[in-house]
A and B are shown apart, each in its own frame.
Chain A
Amino acid sequence: MVKLQRIQRPKTHRGKRALKEREPKLIENARSLLCIRGNKINNIMKILLKNLHLLKSPYSTMYQKKNLDIYPFDNTSKLEWYCQKSDCSLFAYITHSKKRPNNLILARLHNNIVMDMFEFELNNQTFRSLDDFKCIKFAPGNKPCLIFHGELFDNESEYKRLKCFFIDFFRGETNMKEIDLNGLEHVITFTLDIQTKLLSIRVFRIEFKKSGHRIPRIELNEIGPRLDLIIRRTKLASDDFYKKTLKQPTAIKEKKIKNVTTNELGTKMGRIHMEKQDFNQLQTRKMKGLKRNLTIDNEQTQGKRKKIDSTN
């Protein structure tokens, strides 16, 4: 697809910039979410989708129409095509049926191929939307803090992948070097109970209170959607595929400079490693007086002197 686009060039500078945004980069863009509705949905799922869209905005696209005949666990090609069109690498797909009520499917893609897909059941009794909490939320586009709680996240492979999935889902900007300390606005927390396997997702706003010293005391206020999810089905990427996606470009890695140190005075010190030297064969300055063949030379000069003397 990309090769074709090079043969047919973009006609405007804006088009050229848009294509450049979609190209694979060394430091990637934040993952975008595509919110899609299934054929049959109920009100709660609609609200949930809207909430997910708002949580992830501006890295989120919402498709308003219903989509027939999409069964992600059988065939993901239509969803992959939509994601390619809107340059998204995450999708959230909602349905509601008698067999699978309050169904939410979250998935992530790599190179427009579905990698991991998780199907959840939402507990509609305990669900609270963003509107149910009347307080200040957070600025859109802010990077959230993420907290995971529950031993299952480390013990079972499915939940390990789920943890990585949620980090990827909500992370926002990749490779952030600095953060404004006032910009820590919200936290998204995931609690996984080992007995009921219930995953509770809560979103809080962070408030800094005065403590006696430099580090502030934290208070949390719940702002966002309150979700209680149970995993129904999963479709995880094979280990080889997963390993391939983890490859990081070598250009980003910070290059270590070896053998150069700065001492306390600020002088730059370097270290040179020498090969072994034979001190007998070293090349030094030549001094004629120290030559070994000195005696022979003396005779020659005496001979010369004699000649001179004889001529006189």
Chain B
Amino acid sequence: MNSNDLVKNILKHDIDEQDRILKSTEVIKPCPVDIDLGNLLVWDSNIIDQQAYKANRDEYIKNTMRDNMQLFVNALWQVPIERHDNAIVAKLPESKTIVPREKPVPKPKPLTKWQKFAQSKGIVKQKKSKFVWDETKKEWGRRFGYKKANDDSKPWLIEVPTNADPNEDQFAKRLSAKKERVAKNEFQRLKNIAHANKVNVRNDGALINKKSSANDMKKALATAKYSDASMGQFSERATVDEERQTRGFSKRRKYESNLGSLKNEKNKQLKIFDQMNSSTTK
């Protein structure tokens, strides 16, 4: 009897031990693992066990990755948790690894003329209702759009005002007034875009260059110089420091000596071929 009980105890102890190992969430690694919760990223810098890797690669990978994943989950469960309806949600911290952006950082758009005015006066946009009461139809209609309420764009009758010419076409007058308003709005919109791109526009739409920049001056001087038959190769220098004054815009070529190094010449010409074949990417 005693030995039977002993055997039973040992077996039970064994089963309990196995259970404990199977359910354990402990992982011991020689080198601690770097976990970035914000990106759901784990970086294991331990050395790969070459023997196990060569013996059965997939098995080894599965086991090490299970361990790494366990470590990740252990870390994730430490994070503050909320309940949203049925879901249990963990609040992730900020990601540690900086990843390159897809597109450049957006530049803040410059304010339009109206926006500047509204800011200075403190005018705030009032939210308007989508539907308006139409007296004639006695129903609610949209403020604007398809079948809008109080729509007088196609009137069947227009009263001629007392001070107007009786032979004037009031319908045509309305149409042209509408066209004028649309055109004015479009012009103002384009003017705002031009201002945003630092291009100054006159009332009739022509461009104004208020101040000639330094680049314009350089460009003008360089243009003047290469406007002769030999592209300015043999003309005198206009000022002492003409090289500096026309930097970036000059078309004066520097010729190498005929008796220079053959190797340099060959490299130069091969470089030209390379540039012709490749695409210009940074």
Contacts and interface: CB of A to CB of B under 8 A. Distances in A.
Contact of B98 (A202, A214, A248): A248
A89 B102 contact: yes
B100 A245 contact: yes
Interface of B: 20, 22-25, 38-48, 50, 53, 57-58, 61-62, 64-66, 68-70, 72-74, 76-77, 81-82, 87-92, 95, 97-106, 190, 193, 197, 277-279, 281-282
A191 B99 contact: no
Given A7-B193, A31-B102, A111-B104, 7 more contacts: A23-B106, A113-B282, A182-B88, A202-B58, A218-B66, A218-B70, A226-B58
A143 B90 CA distance: 14
Contacts of B100: 108, 110, 115, 164, 168, 242, 245-246
A31 B103 CA distance: 10
A144 B69 CA distance: 12
Interface string A1-25: 0010011000000000000000111
A181 B90 contact: yes
A110 to B, nearest CB: 6
Interface residues of A, number: 83
Contact of B40 (A7, A143, A168, A244): A143
Given A7-B193, A178-B91, A168 B105 contact: no
6 contacts: A7-B190, A7-B193, A151-B45, A181-B90, A194-B48, A202-B62
B90 A204 contact: no
Given A202-B65, A217-B23, A74 B278 contact: yes
Contact of A148 (B44, B92, B104): B44
A177 B281 CA distance: 36
Contacts of B23: 209-212, 217
Contact of A216 (B25, B50, B66, B97): B25
Interface of A: 3, 6-7, 23-26, 28-29, 31, 74-77, 80, 89, 108-111, 113-115, 143-151, 153-154, 163-164, 167-168, 171, 174-182, 184, 187, 189, 191, 193-195, 200, 202, 204, 206, 209-220, 222, 226, 237-238, 241-242, 244-249
Contact of A220 (B47, B65, B98, B197): B65
Contacts, number: 196
Nearest to B46: A149
Contacts of B279: 74-77
B45 to A, nearest CB: 6
B105 A248 contact: yes
Given A145-B72, A193-B48, A28 B102 contact: yes
A217 B25 contact: yes
A153 B103 CA distance: 26
Contacts of A214: 77
A150 B49 CA distance: 10
A24 B65 contact: no
Contacts of A145: 40-42, 69, 72
B90 A146 contact: no
Nearest to B277: A74
A200 B57 contact: yes
B97 A167 contact: yes
Contact of A187 (B48, B65, B103, B193): B65
Given A74-B278, A179-B89, A211-B23, A168 B48 contact: no
Contacts of A244: 104
B48 to A, nearest CB: 6
Given A164-B100, A247-B105, A147 B65 contact: yes
B39 A146 contact: yes
Given A110-B100, A164-B100, A189 B89 contact: no
A110 B105 contact: no
The 7 closest A-B pairs by CB, nearest first: A245-B100, A24-B103, A211-B23, A24-B106, A75-B279, A145-B40, A89-B102
A216 B101 contact: no
A176 B278 contact: no
A285 to B, nearest CB: 40
Contacts of B97: 164, 167
A149 B44 CA distance: 5
Nearest to A112: B103
Nearest to B37: A179
